Amino acid sequence: MRRLPRWLALSAALVAASPAAAAPPGAAIVSALAGPPKPSFLARIRAGELGGVILVGSWRPAEFVQTTRTLHAAGCAAGRPLLVLVDQEGGFARRLTWAAPWHSEGQLGRLGVGETRSEATRAARALRAAGVDVDLAPVTDTLGPGGFLGDRSFGSDPTRVGALAVAYLQALQAGGIAATAKHFPGLGAARKDTDQHVVSVQTTELEPFVRAVRAGVDLVMVSSARYPHLDSSGTPAVFSRPIVTKLLRDRIGFHGVVVTDALDAPAAADTPDAPARALAAGVDLLLYTSGSTAHVAYLELARDAAGSATVRANLARAVGDIHALERKLGRRC
């Protein structure tokens, strides 16, 4: 009999040992992929190690479509749908360079609600045809003076940002693509990119996020910045129960899928038991920007779930939210 690779044997052993078999740890893990998947990457999907894949980098149209088909087939081989995600914000920030939105969100902010809705409608059509499930857009942050987001934000007026974000997300979701309001509770005032730096944000504009939630947005992405005015402990938002559960879920009333910003970013990467801590805060999907960090996170979460009823309960809640999204999108195997 052919022996399993060591990592795959260890993954299987951890899952088999865990009482959380009904809520597999891999269902909460999202890994980045920058090109056609290698056999080892597909093997990890088939082993149940991933619940989603975010496609990054540059793609040719045919290559992209073939890749999403291959990924969905691998997910079904594991017995459940796999979510395929992209960042298709608009302008320079889009993975499908051949598809709308042609304008950046800053440009759309100047063009208005009608053009925003029109381009998001076209984007949804292209994304759906290409096999995508989730667009990690729109950026719902209100731009502050010197904010690093620049033209990725609709602008500096929170009321207008909210109106444009709602138009964008409603058009996406009407076209069968799950939209994501990001980066809760707001990165508009941040002067440095959280993907590269440890960032503390002193002010936030919640109005656009409240409007997005009330409009029925499917996902909210939580930032890895610290928000001392919202959580005095200085805990990064992705690990903060006061921010994710008490503010976003309880006060604002969001009941969809909460996805982290990159958990291998500086503020989160050195946090012990990061996957379990994010789930404990109220997060559902754990996003990683490389296959290696996603693999380590899977093993860590499987280990923690095997040893803790609390982790298993948090995981079960998260997986329930993820499955609800898959059903809404019509993804079945």
Top-confidence residue, 128 or 331: 128
Is pLDDT of 10 > 60?
A: no
Number of domains comprising the chain? 1
Query: Rounded mean pLDDT of 286-304?
Result: 96
According to the model, what pLDDT value does residue 49 have? 97
Residue 18 included in any domain: no
Phi-psi region of 21 (alpha: psi -120 to 50; beta: other; left: phi over 0): alpha
pLDDT digits (tens, 9 = 90+) for 75-91: 999 999 999 999 999 99
Contact 306, 16 (CB under 8 A): no
Percentage of the chain exceeding pLDDT 70: 93
3-class SS letters over 5-56: CHHHHHHHHHHHHCCCCCCCHHHHEEEEECCCCCHHHHHHHHCCCCCEEEEC
Q: By C-alpha distance, which of 14, 5, 51, 47 is closest to 31?
A: 51
Q: Is residue 86 part of a domain?
A: yes
Q: What domain range includes position 301?
A: 25-329
- Is the Cα torsion angle 163, 85, 153, 222 positive or negative in sign? positive
Q: How far apart are CA 313 and CA 309, in angstroms?
A: 6
User: What are the residues whose beta carbons fall under 8 Å from the beta carbon of 275, sequence distance 6 or more?
Assistant: 25, 28, 29, 263, 286, 297, 300, 301, 304
Q: Inform me whether the pLDDT recorded for 12 exceeds 60.
A: no
Partnered with residue 286 across adjacent β-strands are 29
pLDDT tens digits for 210-247?
Answer: 999 999 999 999 999 999 999 999 999 999 999 999 99
User: Could you tell me if 219 and 259 are in contact, meaning their C-beta atoms sit under 8 angstroms apart?
Assistant: yes
Averaged pLDDT score across all residues of the chain: 93
Q: What gap in Å lies between CA 51 and CA 57, rounded to an integer? A: 20
What is this structure's pTM? 0.93
The residue type found at 265 is: A
pLDDT, tens digit (0-9, with 9 covering 90-100), for 137-165: 999 999 999 999 999 999 999 999 999 99
Whether residue 183 has pLDDT greater than 90: yes
Query: Within a domain: residue 16?
Result: no
- Residues 96/65, Cβ–Cβ less than 8 Å: no
On whether residue 17 sits in a domain, the answer given is no
Neighbours of 66 (CB within 10 A): 13
Q: Is 15 a residue whose pLDDT tops 50?
A: no
Report if residue 220 sits inside a domain: yes
Report the pLDDT value the prediction gives residue 242, as an integer from 0 to 100.
98
pLDDT at res. 22? 53
User: How many Cβ atoms from other residues are within 10 Å of residue 79's Cβ?
Assistant: 10
The predicted model gives 46-72 an average pLDDT of 97
* CB-based contact 218:230 (threshold 8 Å): no
Tell me the three state secondary structure of residue 161.
Answer: helix
pLDDT of res. 267: 84
SS3 200: strand
Q: Is the pLDDT of residue 19 over 90?
A: no
**Could you tell me if residue 200 is inside a domain?**
yes
Q: In what order do the strands lie in the sheet with 134-135?
A: 134-135, 83-86, 52-55, 29-33, 286-288
Say if 6 falls within a structural domain.
no
Residue 2 has pLDDT above 60, yes or no: no
Task: Write b or e for each residue in 186-196: b if 16 or more Cβ atoms lie within 10 A of its Cβ, otherwise e.
Answer: bbbbbeeebee
| pLDDT(99) > 80 | yes
Task: Judge whether 4 lies within some domain.
Answer: no
Taking CA atoms, 91 is separated from 71, 131, 217, 274, in Å, by 26, 21, 22, 33
What is the CATH classification number for the domain harbouring 78? 3.20.20.300
- Answer whether 215's CB lies under 8 Å from 176's CB: no
Percent of the chain with pLDDT over 90: 90
* E-strand stretches of the chain: 29-33, 52-55, 83-86, 88-90, 93-94, 134-135, 180-184, 219-222, 257-260, 286-288
Task: Report the candidate in 111, 303, 59, 30 with the shortest Cα–Cα distance to residue 102.
Answer: 111
User: 33: which strand partners?
Assistant: 55
